[in-house]
């Protein structure tokens, strides 16, 4: 679904020590993809490890993944005006070194129904705006 290397998956616990670094106020404008836009913004700011501290915004439509392997599936929520209610996740370098985002959260549709899952790459266009605070994570 999203990058496997972002999600652990090892048989052993993975414990990473570190500290928080720089913090950024970010806006994504309409029609930017949520996942790719957050990654591009981080790359432009020179950040490859980061944590979402807070985010408020809306999507044209939403595509939220769930399940795994053969059971993976997608909940499609039609907008416009899908509200992003919560956004959590992190960015870590992908195989090419560029930041890759793994973002999960909840949204509501125009009937006030709530959905949750993994925000899929290339399928969650920003409607009006995304206001995002990202904080750099510095592994030690």
Q: Of 5 and 18, which has the nearer Cβ to another protein?
A: 18
Q: Of 64 and 82, which has the nearer Cβ to another protein?
A: 82
Q: CA 88 → CA 54, 101, 132, 135, distances in Å? A: 8, 10, 11, 12
**CB of residue 43 vs another protein: minimum separation in angstroms?**
10
Residue 93 is encoded by which pair of tokens?
A: 């370098």
**CB of residue 36 vs another protein: minimum separation in angstroms?**
10
**CB of residue 2 vs another protein: minimum separation in angstroms?**
16
* Other C-beta atoms lying within 10 Å of the C-beta of residue 54: 12
Placement of tokens 């913004």 in the chain:
41
**Residues at the site binding another protein, with contacts judged by CB under 8 A:** 20-33, 37, 40-41, 44-45, 53-56, 58, 60-61, 79-87, 106, 108-112, 114, 122-125, 127-129, 131, 133, 135
H or E element, residue 51: strand 50-59
Residue 1 is encoded by which pair of tokens?
A: 């679904």
């Amino acid at each position: 679904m999203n990058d496997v290397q972002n999600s652990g998956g090892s048989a052993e616990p993975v414990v990473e020590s570190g500290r928080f670094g720089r913090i950024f106020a970010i806006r994504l404008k309409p029609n930017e993809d949520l996942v790719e836009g957050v990654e591009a913004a981080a790359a432009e700011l020179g950040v490859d490890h980061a944590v979402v501290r807070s985010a408020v915004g809306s999507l044209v439509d939403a595509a939220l993944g769930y399940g795994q392997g053969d059971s993976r599936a997608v909940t499609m929520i039609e907008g416009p005006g899908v509200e992003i209610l919560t956004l959590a996740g992190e960015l870590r370098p992908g195989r090419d070194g560029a930041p890759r985002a793994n973002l999960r959260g909840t949204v509501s549709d125009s009937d006030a129904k709530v959905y949750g899952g993994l925000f899929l790459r290339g399928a969650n266009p920003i409607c009006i705006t995304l206001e995002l605070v990202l904080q750099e994570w510095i592994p030690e």
